[in-house]
Amino acid sequence: MHEATISFKERAKEALADPTLKLAIDRTTGTAERKRAVAMTQFPQFEAARERGKRIKDHVIANLDHYLLEFERNAIASGAKVYWASTAEEASQIVVSLCQQAGAKRVTRVKSMLGEEIGLPHALDEAGIERVETDLAEHIVQLGGDRPSHIVWPSMHRTREQVSEMFKRMHRAPHQEETIEAMVDSARRELRDKFLTADVAISGANFLVADTGATCTVTNEGNAELTTTPPRVHIVTAGIEKLVPSTEHAFLLLRLLVRSATGADVTQYTTFHCGPKQQGDRDGPEEFHIVLVDNGRTRMLREGMKEMLRCIRCGACMNHCVVFRQLGGHVYGGTYPGPMGAVLTPLFDGLEKSRDLPHACTMNGKCQEVCPVAIPLPTLLRGWRDRSWREGLEPATVRFGLGIHTFVASRPRLYHLGVAIAIRVMRLFSRGGVVKGMPGLGAWTAYREFPAPAKRTFMEMYKDQEKGQ
Amino acid sequence: MTTPQSVSRPPSSPRVALFVTCLVDAMRPSVGFAALKLLRDAGCQVEVPAAQTCCGQPAYNSGDTADTARLARHFIETFEPYDYVVGPSGSCVGMTREHYVDAFADDPAWAERARRLGERTYELMSFLVDVMHFAPADVRLDTSFTYHDSCSGLRELGVHAQPRALLGEVSGLTLKPLEGNDVCCGFGGTFCVKYPAISNAVVGEKADAIERSGARLLLGGDLGCLMNMAGKLKRKGSSVRAFHAAEVLAGMAGGPAIGEER
């Protein structure tokens, strides 16, 4: 894969040099930020709801074994089959073999980040099963042959102009008018017969409801309903952290999720899927399978990252992240981008491969401020930095530099002498109030001026003042 | 009949240690002298402990917890004898107040000392307003300014209203709102040199927003962020001049701005 072969910094450089990408990012995240801000002014209970949401998730995480078994029991009672997968490979294998058992030639998929996480699109393609992405943005991603760049708007990296061009090139009966409606119609024409002729539907779940055994999906396009209704088989894949005790809890979290993601009060479509078609039902699948996926989640619980299991995948952290808004999602190199992705990717892909992610953060705290379940994202990112330091993954230059810094800074007289010398050296390079061409300052001065230091340090001047008095 | 009132009264003449911070010490001593003047005007007995060095933030942000703890112990020993510790930086104060405790996760005795000192440690603007109930008198500056809320001060310490209240007392000075005033400027301590290209893109947008505000001055409460923004504005050829808010409040904004010849 493209992302794996070049470093984070090189990927970042490419992204920074792409003005069309920046335009696409600004349009999507800017709109999301504005709409969320408006929604918050109309939702004064946000703080209280956030506290409750956090408590619900923490409670479930602390009693995960209990709720998992309750969910399994109730799901089985509803006629569903439940599978447990401890790794991504196991999970996607279960799904692929269920598709094969169903003799599936064509499967329709509802957007699911968990599906991306377990590598399901790739596994289905490898198995020679035709995969049809039914979420409009996922459809765009599929046509472009790339990966989602945002967890809520997977095709955020493409402008509508680019999408229009792509549809014209690849759709059977593309749009004539350059309007969003005409483009959506083009996609509808392209996808409608596939919805109706698929053998298996695969969806994720926004919530797993323990006391009913139901799974819940939310969409704004209605594609989840149209995807999961006609086919004979419906397979749900979900991370075990999606559990909630009851439907009421799901609705409380939904209020937080939707406002944080799109700024709407509620999603256009909120559907609870509970078991296969029963006698007397007019529609629904004959088989209903639920694959419960761990893939590192119980490790997060053990390794001091349990707050991350609260995440409800709203995307607010990335929409408000200054780094994400410069780079977009692909630069992060994992399934999940932005602050939450920078916490998760080292867990999935290994810290050595992704040590840049927790470091490429200014620690400004905005992500935690907007998180609807108050995940301390900066603290978790610092946790990775701490681990990277302990495991010796930090560059020798940084270790050496900080070692000297600590040695000097724990000796006040040496420290003050050192600072006094340093500013005098800097002043040798100072012209017109700024430092020019000084070795070691290139990372700063390549892009901005470095204000020149004073002639003497505060401590020197203060000492003289005190003596004079 | 009178009812007891819970209006907090400023402590009379507390012994305050000025936590100068590395950047102010090395790069812009005038901010330190401005802080000194403001604290004295507010009625504090100010001392500058000579043993102070660096709070350990570079080590902490790099994941080097052992060195952080070493410098944190030095900081605590240096500043413990005073009634209050006050520094002209939300970032450095946030470090000592909010994060020292984390660095002593395995050392409850030091964690407790860190916590206790943290309770008496303040960012300059919030100390002047919230503790000393101070307002500057007879300061005049006929110009317009815009204000950037540095992230650590804003989110870790709740510094937002205090600098505006203080600056509101300066006659002739008008505030021009900054679009995205609470959005990070891209400094981020070591971030700006570890990921300079990303940092530059972020501060580029910030500089554009500052220019759009139409203000003549950019003010803030953290020298790191101010140097980043002033450095970018200067590279762009902007005429906006940057000062630490303390310099304006102390009537010391007559000299060269950040990045100007002195």
Output A5 or A314, whichever has higher pLDDT: A314
Instruction: Please give the average per-residue pLDDT across A362-375, as a whole number.
Output: 98
CATH number of the domain that residue B213 is part of: 3.40.50.11810
Instruction: Please give the average per-residue pLDDT across B33-45, as a whole number.
Output: 98
pLDDT (tens digit, 9 = 90+) per residue, A217-233?
Answer: 999 998 999 999 999 99
Q: Domain A44-298 adopts which CATH fold?
A: Rossmann fold (3.40.50)
Instruction: Please give the average per-residue pLDDT across A270-297, as a whole number.
Output: 95
Q: Locate A316 and state its tokens.
A: 């607010």
Is the pLDDT reported for residue B8 higher than 80? Answer: no
Domain ranges of chain A: 44-298, 397-468
d(CA A71, CA A238): 12
Provide the 10 A C-beta neighbour count for residue B255. 10
Could you tell me if the ipTM is greater than 0.90? Answer: yes
Handedness of CA A301, A304, A305, A310 (dihedral sign): positive
Of A16, A402, A422, the CB nearest to B64: A402
Is the pLDDT reported for residue B7 higher than 80? Answer: no
Band of pLDDT at residue B152, cut at 50, 70 and 90: very high
Q: pLDDT at position B43, please?
A: 97
Q: Are residues B116 and B158 in the same domain?
A: no
Is the pLDDT reported for residue B6 higher than 80? Answer: no
Q: Locate B255 and state its tokens.
A: 């000299």
Q: Are residues B73 and B109 in the same domain?
A: yes
Identify the domain boundary among B94, B109, B129: B129
Q: Quick check: A336 and A113 in contact, CB under 8 A? A: yes
Q: Locate B37 and state its tokens.
A: 């003047």
Burial of A240 (0-12, 13-18, 19+ CB in 10 A): buried
Instruction: Please give the average per-residue pLDDT across B214-224, as a whole number.
Output: 98
Q: Which of A112, A154, A117 is nearest to A330 (CA)?
A: A154
B98 has a chain A CB within 8 A of its CB: no
Q: Are residues B82 and B154 in the same domain?
A: no
Question: Nearest C-alpha of chain B: how many angstroms from A164?
Answer: 29
Q: Locate A344 and state its tokens.
A: 């998760």
Q: pLDDT at position A456, please?
A: 97
Eight-class DSSP state of A60: H
Of B36, B52, B196, the CB nearest to A447: B196
The whole domain housing B241 covers: 135-249
Q: Do B74 and A385 make contact, defined as CB atoms within 8 angstroms?
A: no
Q: Is residue B123 part of a domain?
A: yes
Q: pLDDT at position A165, please?
A: 96
Question: Nearest C-alpha of chain A: how many angstroms from B97?
Answer: 15
Q: Which of B96, B132, B131 is nearest to B116 (CA)?
A: B96
Q: Which 3 state secondary structure label does DSSP give B103? A: helix
pLDDT (tens digit, 9 = 90+) per residue, B70-86?
Answer: 999 999 999 999 999 99
A41 has a chain B CB within 8 A of its CB: no
d(CA B78, CA B19): 10
Locate tokens 């230059």: which residue? Answer: A397
β-strand pairing of B84-87 with B15-18: parallel
Cα distance between the two ends of chain A? 69
Q: Quick check: B127 and B163 in contact, CB under 8 A? A: no
Burial of A230 (0-12, 13-18, 19+ CB in 10 A): middle
A residues 369-388 closer than 8 Å to B (CB): 369, 379, 382, 384-388
Is the pLDDT reported for residue A1 higher than 70? Answer: no
Q: pLDDT at position B262, please?
A: 78
Q: Do A454 and B197 make contact, defined as CB atoms within 8 angstroms?
A: no
Band of pLDDT at residue B12, cut at 50, 70 and 90: confident
Q: Please provide the average confidence, as pLDDT, over all residues in chain B.
A: 95
DSSP E strand stretches across A149-268: 200-203, 207-209, 214-219, 233-239, 243-244
Is the pLDDT reported for residue A422 higher than 50? Answer: yes
Instruction: Please give the average per-residue pLDDT across A185-207, as a whole number.
Output: 96
Is the pLDDT reported for residue B1 higher than 60? Answer: no
Band of pLDDT at residue B3, cut at 50, 70 and 90: very low
Handedness of CA B251, B127, A452, A409 (dihedral sign): positive
- Ramachandran region of residue A9, left (φ > 0), alpha (ψ -120 to 50) or beta? alpha
A433 has a chain B CB within 8 A of its CB: yes
Locate tokens 């061409």: which residue? Answer: A437
Is the pLDDT reported for residue B178 higher than 70? Answer: yes
Question: Nearest C-alpha of chain B: how many angstroms from A313?
Answer: 22
Q: What share of chain A is helix, strand, coil (3-state, %, to 5)?
A: 55, 10, 35
* Dihedral angle over CA of A257, A260, A265, A268, nearest 10: -60
- Concatenating the DSSP letter of every residue in A4-16 gives HHS-HHHHHHHHH
Instruction: Please give the average per-residue pLDDT across A159-174, as a whole number.
Output: 96
Identify the domain boundary among B129, B164, B183: B129
Output A357 or A222, whichever has higher pLDDT: A357
Q: Do B197 and A423 make contact, defined as CB atoms within 8 angstroms?
A: no
Band of pLDDT at residue A6, cut at 50, 70 and 90: confident
Residue B234's closest chain A neighbor by CA? A449
d(CA B138, CA B140): 6
Residue A461's closest chain B neighbor by CA? B29
Q: Is residue B110 part of a domain?
A: yes
Q: Locate A290 and state its tokens.
A: 């639920």
Q: What percent of chain A clears pLDDT 90, i.e. is strictly above it?
A: 95
Q: Locate A15 and state its tokens.
A: 């992204």
Handedness of CA B134, B139, B142, B145 (dihedral sign): negative
Mutate to test the interface with A, among B47, B62, B74 (most CBs of A within 10 A): B62
Q: Which of A292, A297, A395, A291 is nearest to A343 (CA)?
A: A297
Q: Is residue B261 part of a domain?
A: no
Q: Are residues B241 and B212 in the same domain?
A: yes
Q: Are residues B121 and B155 in the same domain?
A: no
Q: Locate A357 and state its tokens.
A: 């992610």
Q: How many residues does this entry show for chain A?
A: 469
Which residue(s) pair with A209 in the sheet? A214, A244
Tally of domains in chain B: 2
Eight-class DSSP state of B131: I
Instruction: Please give the average per-residue pLDDT across A52-72, as a whole number.
Output: 98
Band of pLDDT at residue B10, cut at 50, 70 and 90: low
How far, rounded to the nearest angstrom, does the alpha carbon of residue A72 sit from its chain's CA centroid?
27
Exposure of B10 in the CB half-sphere (CA atoms within 13 A): 17
Q: Please provide the average confidence, as pLDDT, over all residues in chain A.
A: 96
Residue A399's closest chain B neighbor by CA? B64
Q: Are residues B106 and B163 in the same domain?
A: no
Spatial neighbors of B146 by CB under 8 A, at least 6 apart, are B175, B176, B177, B178, B181, B210, B213, B215, B217, B218, B219
Question: Nearest C-alpha of chain A: how many angstroms from B251?
Answer: 18
pLDDT (tens digit, 9 = 90+) per residue, A75-111?
Answer: 999 999 999 999 999 999 999 999 999 999 999 999 9
